Structure 1
Amino acid sequence: MSVIDEIGRSKHVSLETYRRDGTGVSTPVWHVVDGNQLYVVSEAKAWKVKRVRNTGRAKVTVCDIRGRIKPGAATAEGPARLLDETETAAARTMLARKYVMSRAGNWFARLLRLKRPPLIGIAVTL
């Protein structure tokens, strides 16, 4: 099994983005892989979005829900970019297909007419 397949089959990945000084900051996230692209959706004001905007690179590693990485876990590194509104909507749709809780959260937010912060997608080329 290739690294991309292993990352795609996992439930969570640790998305490591980099500060301007090169220090990495990891965050466990939901993800979906389409071809050689890994997609993540986050709040537009999140620090990981600002770090991607500044450095344009990221590293992903298979992890558990708490971000713990097992020795020998699949890892890939590549350029990262922020998505426009259309691409972000497509990424949200793909994530909703993979994660039931995402669908449930989106449904409840619409039902209760909750005001949600703006979202933006991140694509990492693996």
Structure 2
Amino acid sequence: MGQYQGSCFCGTVKFQVSGAPEAMGYCHCDSCRRWSAGPVNAFSLWPGDRLEILSGADQVGEFHLTEQSYRKWCKQCGGHVFTDHPTWGLVDVYVANLPGLKFEPALHVHYQESVLPIRDGLPKMKDVPAEMGGSGETLPE
């Protein structure tokens, strides 16, 4: 069982996750793209009880547009750290913030909203897998 430490951009908020992520992949939804200011977001989903904030918990800000995603950032530097997904019982720790984690993406989600087609042979989900409340439909690369 591994432990992976990460932090916000300035290092004020430090955290770790333990074990293995439930899933890793890429999200192409408009919300993630706008939040990350990038064309795609690399995610790692962990059970919420596997995330521990080591320091700077009082500096974690939160915003949620919907009940699906509670986005968290550092109040000092504005660096994004993770997103709670309470309806799934999972937290998305952004892969860029876990330098020791070997990123092994298994799929792309919300590919119907993609602005950056990626031809890597991985499944391209129209939205999210059926187990997570989505259609389970895949799209061609």
Superposition TM-score tier, normalisation by shorter sequence: under 0.3
Specify which structure has the higher proportion of helix: 1
TM-score (norm 1): 0.28
TM-score (norm 2): 0.26
Specify which structure has the higher proportion of strand: 2
